[in-house]
């Protein structure tokens, strides 16, 4: 990526963080908003689940036996 791509992404990140923590924050509406780093933990668990599910599906549907062509 070019340097201006990184600059634009950095600006968008900063703007989205400012909006999230000032204007869009409605932390009293849900119980999980009181848990520190809930969204980071939730996202990490979601990524791990996605990895393990796709690995399992890959072993079931994609991998073939070693003697596949010998039949």
- Is 33:27 a contact under the CB 8 Å cutoff? yes
pLDDT in tens, 5-56: 999 999 999 999 888 888 776 667 778 878 888 889 999 999 999 999 999 9
Q: Which residues contact 11 (CB under 8 A, 6 or more apart)?
A: none
**How many residues would you count in the chain?**
71
Q: Is the predicted pLDDT of residue 71 greater than 80, yes or no? A: no
* Number of CB atoms found within 10 A of residue 63's CB: 9
Domain ranges of the chain: 1-28, 35-71
- In Å, what is the CA distance from 43 to each residue of 10, 26, 40, 48, 69? 20, 19, 5, 9, 41
Q: What is the pTM of this model?
A: 0.50
């Amino acid at each position: 990526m070019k340097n201006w791509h990184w600059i634009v992404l950095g600006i968008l990140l900063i703007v989205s963080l400012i909006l999230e923590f000032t204007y869009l924050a409605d932390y009293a509406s849900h119980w999980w908003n009181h848990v520190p780093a809930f969204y980071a933990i939730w996202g990490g668990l979601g990524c791990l689940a996605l990895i393990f599910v796709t690995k399992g599906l890959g072993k079931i549907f994609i991998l073939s036996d070693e003697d596949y062509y010998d039949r």
